[in-house]
Amino acid sequence: MLKRFGARTFAALVSSATLITGATPAFGQAAQEASSALRLECGGIGLEESQRMRAEVTMHALTVFFSTMEGGFIADVATQVDDPLGDRRVEASCGPIGQLDVPEVGRYRITATYAGSTQEHWVELTPGGGARLALRWQE
C-alpha cells in the first residue's frame, strides 16, 4: 500500500534525512581517527588468554613476548611504542605477551623496561603483518 505525504510531511522527512546524513561523516571521522592510532593489548596471563593471544599472532602487526633469559615469562614490563613520523605513542604495563596494531606500514620504536633495565628496538611493521619480537631480561 502506497502512502501519500503532504508537502509539509515530505519537507519534514527530507529535513530529517538531511540531519541524519549530516551526522554520518562525524561517525566516519571518529572511526577513521580511531583507526589511525596505535593500539597495544597486554595480557597472556593464564593458559586460556595465552593460547588466544598466540593464536591471534597473524592478526596483529607485532606480538612481543616478555621473558627471563631462563625462559620464565614476566609481567609488569613498562612498554612504550612510538611512531616518530606519525607523532603517535602508546604506553602500557605489559607481559607476558603484548600485541600491537599499527595504522600503516612504517618504522616503529619499541622501548621496554623491566627491573630497571631498558631495551630499545626499531622494527619495520605492517598492519596485520604477524611480526614477532622476544625480549629477555637477566633476572
Most distant CA pair in the chain: distance in Å?
79
| E strand or H helix that includes residue 46 | none
Q: Which residue has the cell 541524519?
A: 20
pLDDT, greater one: 95 or 3:
95
pLDDT for residue 30 is more than 70: no
User: How far, CA to CA in Å, does 56 sit from each of 41, 44, 50, 92, 128?
Assistant: 12, 12, 10, 19, 10
Q: Taking the model in full, what pTM does it have?
A: 0.73
pLDDT band at 100 (very low <50, low <70, confident <90, very high): very high
Question: 62 and 131 in contact (C-beta within 8 Å)?
Answer: yes
Residue 36 has what pLDDT? Answer: 73
